[in-house]
Structure 1
Amino acid sequence: MNGLKLILLVLLTVVFAWIFSLVFCRVEYYTGENSLVDGLGSDFQQYDDIFKNIYTFENKIKHFTAAETLKFVSEKLDPEMFMNATQLITSKGLPCEEHFPHTEDGFILGMQRIPHHSSKGPPVLLMHGLLSSSDCFLTNLINESLAYILHNAGFDVWLGNVRGNVYSKKHEYYSPDELKFWAWSFDEMGQYDIPAMVEYIINTTGHPKINYIGHSQGATSMLAAGMHKKGFNAKINKFIALAPAGLVPNMKSPMHYLTYIAGNIKMLYSLFGDGEFLPHTGWLSAVAKIICPETEKLCENVLFLFGGADAANINITRVPVYTAHNPAGTSTQNMIHWAQMVKNKHNNMLHYDYGYWYLNLKHYHSIYPPVYDFSEFDISMYAFCGGSDTLVVPNDCAKLLSLLPDIKHSYFIPEYTHLDFIWAVNAAITVYKTVLDILLL
């Protein structure tokens, strides 16, 4: 086992070293007269421009004084790269409130609200996907971002954030520096986070029900909540699921490679850390802020490695903003749970497997993790699936919908990838117009 672990660590080190050298080193054989890129064909031709741009960017700033560097950077960088959710909202001239509901297990969740006190119907709660935050509904232009579109259509819009991301890193008892702070997956999001936010909105607004729109994991955590908390389903008026990730056994995204070691919990923790996975404040965010304005194609490839994207569907000039706000953080345990989800080929959704029978017995009173019962999820649901989604492939999306008892309507968009549902330039017409129609039914 130690030999296998060593081999995996060596392979990961080689891969990351190769990527690092490609991005940060001026490798002349990539851009010279006999460029290696020329021999790799058109698929790699785009990288010639990338390396030339990095080289040019470096040479522009390396002789600057501090003041000149600050001036140059401020002119080059989109200010929205450095705004939080509240600032993104208020910069559009819209009102914003910050709210902090507490979960039953002590987490303090950060929420933003774009109030509309003469709203059309129940409030709308937007829930982000894996490794993201409420920012994902705010980082396109005002006529393209779902949160702004809903507000301008007359809805009271709430933006949620689950435990562990940049807006929800507080706890009544634990610090993010403690491992106990990170001992959770989307099971706890469904058991605690979603109910806490829904209950908070109901208590604040006086509406007995809310509408819920979840992307990817945001839909999964709603499924978990609806199958876990008795009486919870009656508080949801309509559930709109964008690329719902309830079943992912046929995932094509590079994330599926985690399945090869998904059964070895100890190894996964040793590779990815015991606590936070991909922290927002790490070097990845810093690199994105510096490099992306000059090398948008590079960031496009890095950002959409897991989720995938069609370059024809996104605003390339916004990529630096996307990468500055993502990844927004989650726990390693949550990522392990997703690896287990991909490995599960039984068309069901399981709770987190602790990897040892005695730990499962301690948590579940069973040596096996419990199965979520889809038949208990009786919330009226409208689902959108993407034909080019590599994370929630069409067959998995269709299979999930066939197992849920109250699917009002499903929509299939052949050209959409996983992230197009939140960032595609045509999403306002292709998806959000239908979302508005559903909410107004």
Structure 2
Amino acid sequence: MVFKIIFVVLCVMNFSKSAIPDSDKSVTRLIEDYGYLVESHNIVTKDGYILEIHRIPGIRGENIKNKKNVVLLMHGLLGSSADWVLTGPNRSLAFLLAENGYDVWLGNNRGNTFGKNHKSYLSTSFGFWDFSWHELGIYDLPATIDYILKTTKIRNLNYVCFSQGCTQFLVMGSLMPEYNKKIRFTAALAPASALKNIKGVMTLASPFISFSKILVENLGYFELIPSSSLLRIFTNYVCRENSGLQNFCYLLIFNIVGNGLEEIDRVQFPDVFSYFPAGCSWKQVIHYISDTKEYFGQYNYGLMKNLRLYNSTIPPEYPLKNVNVPIAIFHGPNDYLVPPQDVAILEKKLPNVVGRFFVTERKLNHLDFMFGRNIRHLVYNRVVQIINLFKID
């Protein structure tokens, strides 16, 4: 029953108007209003997608203390660059890094609010949405890194990723190992790879998602849950503090990301939905839920197409042994999407894990790593301490 309710809500949100009244200017204005410098940059990927990314080059009135120390933050599935700043100066990792003298860049992937343009396709066409997180790893992330390194005139940067942002990093590092030299250190927050042990409603949704692959392969892929006015109206009414339906709102969320009343900010959390979710392709969800149960591999198109594309009946596994970047992993006990068992599997396959931090002070769920009330104390301060070890003096 819970899944049916969630599915109806998602369908209504998905087919609502996808233009977001809070435009990119709202994000930049948000950063400016908090007292930080901000820039917008456009990147074109090799396959034609145009991505807008954001930069926080310092605190207003101050220059960057050391321009050689650059950090790129990459959002998760359905997220955007806004996720790193919307919680404000007292909680945001982006602002914490800026306060510590870092040149902070906030990435965006194709298909989200800031990645809806293409040199040839309109975002209303099926061709635009024919991508999974594999393409984010081999196109979007390399293009973003190359642009930042060229702009800042440095050889490598630090990387902080959340969930899917870590997935695309693993894809890139596996298949394009030359990019491992361009990253000094990676902090992985709830990194998603093979989802063997997911819990909650997504396990119930798995058969439907697998079946949908047959349909979309023939009919075309589509956008999932773009930011919309209808979504904000719904969440403002249902999720606001003192709403009689607020607990229903949390029930929907917790059935997907994991239980976690401890870290919910009941006052601020409805404001998150001004920017999140920010849209993605349904193909990204299929790739996670339908294709990564057994191992962390490329998209499964079926027997005949796999033979054409991969010269194999099954998709090739990503060679994680190639990802030799020093990496620290942070994860929590109540994460339904990236449970501890899957993190342990990932750790064993990576050759250079410098630390795995299982945060037990609070029962963190998946979204707590972005929006939790105490996440700066629980995780972000330690992230900055470790990144400082990789600073260029």
Shorter-chain TM-score category? 0.7 to 0.9
The one-character-per-residue Cα deviations of 1:72-93 (angstroms, maximum 9, x if unpaired) are xxxxxxx999973212211212
Aligned residue for 1:161? 108
- 1:108 pairs with one of 50, 71, 80: 50
Q: Aligned to 1:317, which of 247, 267, 278?
A: 267
In structure 2, relative to structure 1, the CA distance for the partners of 1:170 and 1:429 (3 Å cut) is: same
CA distance in 1, matches of 2:7, 2:67: 53
2:348 maps to 1:438:
no
Q: Which residue of 2 aligns with 1:174?
A: 121
Q: Do the aligned partners of 2:127 and 2:220 also contact (CA within 8 Å) in 1?
A: no
Equivalent residue for 1:87? 29
Q: Deviations over 1:184-242 (max 9, x none)?
A: 10000000011000111000001110100000111111000101114111000101100
Question: Could you tell which deviates more after superposition, 294-303 or 173-182?
Answer: 294-303
Distance in 2 separating the partners of 1:146 and 1:222: 19
CA deviation map 1:57-76 (0-9, x unaligned): xxxxxxxxxxxxxxxxxxxx
In 1: Cα distance, 2:206 partner to 2:332 partner? 23
Work out whether residues 309 and 420 of structure 1, in 8 Å CA contact, stay in contact via their aligned partners in 2: no
Q: Please say if residues 309 and 419 of structure 1, whose CA atoms lie closer than 8 Å, have aligned partners that are also in contact.
A: no
- Identify if the C-alpha distance between structure 1 residues 404 and 148 changes in structure 2 by more than 3 Å, giving closer, same or farther: same
Cα separation, partners in 2 of 1:150 and 1:327, compared to 1, 3 Å: same
Question: What is residue 132 of structure 2 aligned with on the other side?
Answer: 185
Q: Does 1:367 align with 2:313?
A: yes
Q: Find the residue that maps to 2:44 and give its secondary structure.
A: coil
Alpha carbons of structure 1 residues 153 and 261: separation in structure 2 relative to 1, 3 Å: same
Alignment check: 8 A CA contact 1:187 1:221 kept: yes
- What is residue 90 of structure 2 aligned with on the other side? 143
- Please say which of residues 166-175 and 299-308 is displaced more in the overlay: 299-308
What is the distance in 1 between the residues matched to 2:23 and 2:119? 30
Residues 418 and 12 (structure 1), Cα distance of their counterparts in 2 relative to 1, 3 Å cut:
closer
Q: Could you tell me which residue of structure 1 aligns to residue 17 of structure 2? A: none
1:389 maps to 2:339: no
- Structure 1 alignment gaps of length 5 or more: 1-10, 21-78
Match of 1:199 among 116, 131, 146: 146
Greater Cα shift, 255-264 or 323-332 = 255-264
Aligned residues: 369
CA distance in 2, matches of 1:282, 1:361: 43
Q: Distance in 2 between matches of 1:434 and 1:16?
A: 35
User: Larger Cα Rg: Structure 1 or Structure 2?
Assistant: 1
Answer whether contact 1:275 1:332 (CA < 8 A) is retained. Answer: yes
Match of 1:416 among 347, 364, 382: 364
> Would the aligned equivalents of 1:309 and 1:418 in 2 still touch at CA under 8 Å?
no
Q: Residue 282 of structure 2: which of 332, 343, 346 is its match?
A: 332
Aligned equivalents of 1:90 and 1:120: distance in 2? 20
Offset of 1:120 from its aligned partner?
A: 6.6
How far the C-alpha of 1:366 sits from its partner, in A, is 2.7
Alignment partner, residue 31 of structure 1: none
Aligned to 1:152: 99
**CA distances 1:164-183 after superposition (whole Å, capped 9, x unpaired):** 00011111111111111000
Where 2:98 maps in the other structure, the secondary structure is helix
- The secondary structure found in structure 1 opposite 2:185 is strand
- What is the RMSD of the two structures over their aligned residues, measured on CA atoms? 2.7
> CA offset at residue 146 of structure 1?
0.8
User: What percentage of residue pairs aligned between the two structures are identical?
Assistant: 34
Distance 1:219 1:18 in 2: 30
Q: How does 1:31-430 map to 2 (within 5 A)?
A: 84-116=26-58, 117-119=64-66, 121-266=68-213, 269=216, 274-281=221-228, 283-293=230-240, 295=243, 296-342=246-292, 344-345=293-294, 348-354=295-301, 356-414=302-360, 415-430=363-378
* CA distance, structure 2, for counterparts of residue 198 and residue 16 of structure 1: 36
- Separation of aligned partners in 2, 1:190 and 1:419: 22
Deviations 1:351-410 (A, max 9, x none): 0111x3222233323332111111111111111111111111111111110111100111
Task: Give the TM-score taking structure 1 as reference length.
Answer: 0.78
| Residue of structure 2 in register with 1:40 after alignment | none
Equivalent-residue separation in structure 2 for 1:110 and 1:82 (angstroms): 9
Q: Measure, in 2, the Cα distance between the counterparts of 1:16 and 1:411.
A: 32
The answer as to whether partners of 2:173 and 2:179 remain within 8 angstroms in 1 is yes
Counterpart of 1:325, as a letter, is Y
C-alpha spacing 1:123/1:304, structure 2 compared with 1 (3 Å): farther
Would the alpha carbon gap of residues 423 and 230 (structure 1) be closer, same or farther in structure 2, given more than 3 Å must change? same
Say which SS state the counterpart of residue 330 (structure 2) adopts: strand
State the shift of 1:258 in Å: 2.9
Q: Is the 8 A contact 2:195 2:289 kept in 1?
A: no
TM-score, normalised via structure 2 length: 0.87
Q: 1:19 to 1:363 in 2, by over 3 A?
A: closer
> What letter corresponds to residue 315 of structure 2 in structure 1?
P
Of 79-88 and 115-124, the range deviating more from structure 2:
79-88
- SS at the partner of 1:251? coil
Q: Which has the higher contact order (CA 8 A, sep 6+)?
A: 2
What is the letter of the counterpart of residue 200 of structure 1? Y
Output the amino acid matched with 1:85: V
